[in-house]
Chains A and B, each alone.
Chain A
Amino acid sequence: MTHVRPLANKLVPAAAALAAALVLAGCTPGTTTSDASGDAGTPVTGGTLVYASGDAEPSCLDPHVGGNYPQALVASQYLETLYTKDADGTLIPWLAKDSTVSEDGLTRTVTIREGISFTDGTTLDAAAVKANFEHLLNPDTASSTGYLALGKIDSMQAVDANTLELKLKSPDNSLLESFSMPWVAIESPTALKRSQAENCAAPVGTGPFKVESWKKQDAVNLVRNTEYVLPDPKAGHAGAAYLDAITWRFIPEAATRYAALQAGEVQLIDNAQPDAIAAAEKNTAIKHLDAPRPGASNRVELNSSKAPFNDAKVREAFVHAVNVNASIDSLFFGTAKRSYSPLSSVEPLAHSEESLFGYDPAKAGQLLDAAGWSERDSAGYRVKDGARLSLTFPVSTSQSIPAEQSLFEQMQATAKESGIEIKIKLLDLSSWYGELFTNNYNLVSAPYTKVGPGVLSILFHSDSTIPAPSGYFANLSQVKDPSLDVLLDTAGSTKDQAERKNLYAQAQQKVLEGYYLLPLYNQQNHFLYSEKLKNVGTTTAVASPTFFGTWLSN
């Protein structure tokens, strides 16, 4: 459980033990942690959990439509997925009972669990799952994340009531990981037949809660699904959830959110900022859940498509010129741990290479001298052929939290000592996209959440440098390396797990050694909650918490 590490640094031992237990219990849906976590006590039925989200209010409560993280957070309460991940990060069947793939990798057969119904009374069966996939693949649904995840499906057929057969365009060994994402969650086919507006307002699933009402800009009101059936009986208690209801509020201001938690107005907040987490450590009434997101680590990408980063020596010099570790320690109060991998530490196939990323200004200087950047101008910056060694760094203020923005400023300061100028541009999201589309950047930091190492293909395959009509492309370091493409393609289609692991490790080593990116830390996903709330820590495959086994003590 690598994601215990960020906590262990500064927490007092008791809190660390508790947190470790919580995270160990972490990924198993519905697992009761009362024996191990110190949450000792008998579960209490009743009460309403008030959840305060700092994310933008979703435009649609159906995560098929669009498909972003705020939708995943709330939808995990009322929708369930075919697959999910257990505490060890192992993929386990959930609404699906089992799945097999043909020898050529082109036919995937999924068996659906029996005896489960949606909250509108519709039965879960193969036809229902088929209707969901069709909904996701229909352009009118306007799915982005889920649509990409199912992109390899060519056709599908319900062979019998509980068996769905999928024909694939090419082998896809990430499909089951894709099935574990809330953006591909299974909804009632009867409810999906309604208009999109109706379905967005109250999607119908099989989860432990159901949507009762949604007052925009105020709250989504969820109530207990009294008929809930836990798909895997080993995963938790029998019967319905302990909580009567969940009020899902939107409180955009981080300080207000924390104040509301302290005042007892809400019992759990997401997007907890480093300063609040550090303050909460001294407060016994407030507990901390660190649930790093899967997919890519947070990283700075070095645009290799143009000068000066088209020179690998300059990329290497930059990486040694910035002092990242000292800044992370001081700015994140020990709540974030340095990463040396393109993948999140919760990804079992993440590969790290710490030795490449030491802070070494002397080495940076030698590399830059050798690359021809040996002269300095009056401001102390290096120049070559009359041009200053200057890097443009557009930063999205909505994607980079204040602590991360400060980290970039400190990188700017340490780079200056080596004669490298970094020009940080703080931008709103639309303007930030605009800079990327016009290739007007040398450095950039963009999060990417997806379950499984398949995210590497999205971020580093040369196909991903081709912009979508929107102008967006995910390969922001603009690596175009045919041998890397082959590694990623083979890794994504092989049936041999050991080979898959080996190939993905090679691919990661290649992008790390090429200095296409500077890994920073896991994509941060911190929650703070009242100690009255017991048995928190159970999350889905994308680290969104679920509250089936959670109760409010008196």
Chain B
Amino acid sequence: MSTSTATATPTRSPGFPWSTVRWLLGKLGGGIFVLWAVATAIFFGIRMIPGDPAEAIMGGPGSQASAEALAAARAQYGLDQPLYVQYFGQLWRLATGDMGTSYALKTPVAEVLGELIPPTLILAVLALLVAWAMALLLAVLSTRSGGLGTALGSGLEIVSAAVPHFWLASVLILVFSTMLGWLPPVSTNTPAGLVLPVITLALPLAGFLGQVMRDTMLEAQRSAFALSARARGESEVGVLLRHSLRHAALPAIALSGWAFGSLLSGAVVVESIFARPGLGRSLLAAVTSRDIPMVTGVALLSAAAYVVIMAGSELAERIADPRIGPS
């Protein structure tokens, strides 16, 4: 996309880009609306589950809290207040940047999130890169080797796209840890510990990306610019690398914003199975223990990440393609 920026810029009229500012303000407003909606949905949604959050504060399963201790916990966390007081209090705290203290971890949510973002980000980014590499490989191989290759590649893509993370992780552990003994089944801080979680996340994604890329690539291979490149004496490999591949990458890049979101949800399963610290695993633990501040924190963070990534990719498209929006 960066290459098209260079060619697009000279065609733009000079002057202050008011339309972009308006667009940005609109996005900001939309983003705030989304965050408010998420905070509200979580606040009321989690209260629809029967049970008492004070029990979660008192240690959850296995502890039978006394009446006094529960009352103290309720008062300490403001759970004895009327619902609307709690709701507006919660919104006000969130608006002022205070995400509260986790019931279960007894630590400020912001601090916990700060610790958990890096491991999840590393996992997601690596999985995205690996998925890209696998998708490219699949797409190139299947377009290069004719009808049978296409059918085989397409079949592989569908299977890998359809495989659930849970099943894939179990099979990978069984084969590569238990049977072959090559890789650790739990994700330690070593590079080897990252291999299985990354592959578990990347494989289904590679299936999706591969399907999109292969179709666009086949289309590009048959297109006029590919024909003219061949006419100029470009080799088949050259056409593929210099023209078709670039063409095929565009929709896949556009999908990457969505892909990143799907990786975050996949992290819930993968981090739990491979016992890796991260946002996904903490979300699961927080939901089971009714840790309201923690659930709200992770949900808001994911929503904010989504908003930013989506806006970012739209912004990139605006810069890349001056036809979008009035100027």
**A: which residues have CB within 8 A of B?**
52, 56-60, 65-71, 139-145, 147-148, 151, 196-197, 200, 215-218, 249-253, 255-256, 259-260, 262-263, 265-266, 398-399, 428-431, 433-435, 437-438, 447, 449, 468-472, 474
Assess the A142–B73 pair: CB atoms within 8 A: yes
Q: How far is the CA of A438 from the CA of B116 in the complex (A)?
A: 38
Q: How far is the CA of A80 from the CA of B289 in the complex (A)?
A: 28
Q: How far is the CA of A200 from the CA of B106 in the complex (A)?
A: 9
Q: How far is the CA of A430 from the CA of B50 in the complex (A)?
A: 6
Q: How far is the CA of A142 from the CA of B72 in the complex (A)?
A: 7
Q: How far is the CA of A534 from the CA of B60 in the complex (A)?
A: 34
Q: How far is the CA of A435 from the CA of B116 in the complex (A)?
A: 35
Chain A CB within 8 A of B261 CB: no
Chain A CB within 8 A of B59 CB: yes
A349 to chain B, nearest CB (A): 22
We find that the number of chain B residues with CB closer than 8 angstroms to chain A is 53
Contacts known (A217-B282, A256-B173); A470 close to B65, Cβ less than 8 A:
yes
A543 to chain B, nearest CB (A): 14
Q: How far is the CA of A59 from the CA of B188 in the complex (A)?
A: 22
Assess the B178–A139 pair: CB atoms within 8 A: no
Question: In the complex, which residues of chain A have a beta carbon less than 8 angstroms from the beta carbon of B288?
Answer: 56, 398, 428-429
In the complex, chain B residues 272-302 whose Cβ is within 8 Å of any chain A Cβ: 272-275, 277-278, 281-282, 285, 288-290
Among B156-164, B179-187, B205-213, the one that faces the other chain is: B179-187
Chain A CB within 8 A of B20 CB: no
Chain A CB within 8 A of B71 CB: yes
Q: How far is the CA of A90 from the CA of B263 in the complex (A)?
A: 54
Given A56-B60, A250-B275, 5 other A-B residues pairs in contact with their CB atoms under 8 A: A56-B289, A59-B104, A147-B66, A217-B277, A252-B281
Contacts known (A67-B59, A197-B107, A265-B186); A252 close to B66, Cβ less than 8 A:
no
Question: In the complex, which residues of chain A have a beta carbon less than 8 angstroms from the beta carbon of B188?
Answer: 265
Q: How far is the CA of A148 from the CA of B178 in the complex (A)?
A: 45
Question: Whose C-beta in chain A lies nearest to the C-beta of B273?
Answer: A253
A474 to chain B, nearest CB (A): 6
Assess the B277–A68 pair: CB atoms within 8 A: no
Q: How far is the CA of A181 from the CA of B57 in the complex (A)?
A: 21
Assess the A249–B186 pair: CB atoms within 8 A: yes
Question: Whose C-beta in chain A lies nearest to the C-beta of B170?
Answer: A255
Question: Whose C-beta in chain B lies nearest to the C-beta of A429?
Answer: B61
Question: In the complex, which residues of chain B have a beta carbon less than 8 angstroms from the beta carbon of A71?
Answer: 59
Assess the B177–A263 pair: CB atoms within 8 A: yes
**B: which residues have CB within 8 A of A?**
49-52, 54-55, 57-73, 103-107, 112, 115-116, 170, 173-174, 177-178, 181, 184-186, 188, 272-275, 277-278, 281-282, 285, 288-290
Question: In the complex, which residues of chain B have a beta carbon less than 8 angstroms from the beta carbon of A67?
Answer: 59, 63
B15 to chain A, nearest CB (A): 51
Assess the B67–A469 pair: CB atoms within 8 A: yes
Q: How far is the CA of A470 from the CA of B184 in the complex (A)?
A: 43
Question: In the complex, which residues of chain B have a beta carbon less than 8 angstroms from the beta carbon of A263?
Answer: 177-178, 181, 184-185
Assess the B52–A471 pair: CB atoms within 8 A: yes
7 chain-A/chain-B pairs, Cβ below 8 angstroms: A59-B103, A66-B60, A143-B69, A147-B66, A217-B278, A253-B275, A433-B50
Question: Whose C-beta in chain B lies nearest to the C-beta of A66?
Answer: B59
Question: Whose C-beta in chain B lies nearest to the C-beta of A148?
Answer: B66
B74 to chain A, nearest CB (A): 8
Q: How far is the CA of A287 from the CA of B46 in the complex (A)?
A: 42
Contacts known (A217-B277, A259-B174, A431-B49); A145 close to B186, Cβ less than 8 A:
no
Interface centre among A66, A196, A249, A472 (most CB of B within 10 A): A66
Assess the B59–A59 pair: CB atoms within 8 A: yes
Number of A-B contacts (CB under 8 A): 168
Q: How far is the CA of A66 from the CA of B66 in the complex (A)?
A: 10
Contacts known (A255-B170, A259-B178); A470 close to B61, Cβ less than 8 A:
no
Assess the B61–A68 pair: CB atoms within 8 A: yes
Assess the B64–A474 pair: CB atoms within 8 A: yes
Assess the A196–B186 pair: CB atoms within 8 A: no
Question: Whose C-beta in chain A lies nearest to the C-beta of B51?
Answer: A430
A415 to chain B, nearest CB (A): 27
Q: How far is the CA of A256 from the CA of B57 in the complex (A)?
A: 28
Q: How far is the CA of A250 from the CA of B272 in the complex (A)?
A: 10
Out of B63, B115, B281, B285, which one reaches A145, CB within 8 Å?
A: B63
Question: In the complex, which residues of chain B have a beta carbon less than 8 angstroms from the beta carbon of A428?
Answer: 49, 288
Question: In the complex, which residues of chain A have a beta carbon less than 8 angstroms from the beta carbon of B170?
Answer: 255
A90 to chain B, nearest CB (A): 26
Assess the B116–A217 pair: CB atoms within 8 A: yes
Out of A197, A256, A471, which one reaches B274, CB within 8 Å?
A: A256
Assess the B70–A470 pair: CB atoms within 8 A: yes
Out of A144, A196, A200, which one reaches B69, CB within 8 Å?
A: A144
Question: Whose C-beta in chain A lies nearest to the C-beta of B183?
Answer: A263
B111 to chain A, nearest CB (A): 10
Interface centre among A57, A139, A200 (most CB of B within 10 A): A139
Assess the B65–A57 pair: CB atoms within 8 A: no
Assess the B49–A60 pair: CB atoms within 8 A: no
Q: How far is the CA of A474 from the CA of B64 in the complex (A)?
A: 9
Question: In the complex, which residues of chain B have a beta carbon less than 8 angstroms from the beta carbon of A431?
Answer: 49-51
Contacts known (A142-B73, A215-B277); A468 close to B65, Cβ less than 8 A:
yes
Question: In the complex, which residues of chain A have a beta carbon less than 8 angstroms from the beta carbon of B73?
Answer: 142
Out of B67, B69, B275, B289, which one reaches A142, CB within 8 Å?
A: B69
Assess the A59–B178 pair: CB atoms within 8 A: no
A468 to chain B, nearest CB (A): 5
A67 to chain B, nearest CB (A): 5
Interface centre among A250, A263, A266 (most CB of B within 10 A): A263
Q: How far is the CA of A60 from the CA of B73 in the complex (A)?
A: 15
Question: In the complex, which residues of chain B have a beta carbon less than 8 angstroms from the beta carbon of A66?
Answer: 58-60, 63, 65
B191 to chain A, nearest CB (A): 15
Q: How far is the CA of A434 from the CA of B51 in the complex (A)?
A: 5
B325 to chain A, nearest CB (A): 44
Assess the B281–A217 pair: CB atoms within 8 A: yes
Question: In the complex, which residues of chain A have a beta carbon less than 8 angstroms from the beta carbon of B54?
Answer: 470
Out of B65, B66, B275, which one reaches A249, CB within 8 Å?
A: B275
Contacts known (A59-B105, A252-B272); A142 close to B71, Cβ less than 8 A:
no
Q: How far is the CA of A310 from the CA of B193 in the complex (A)?
A: 56
Assess the A449–B62 pair: CB atoms within 8 A: yes
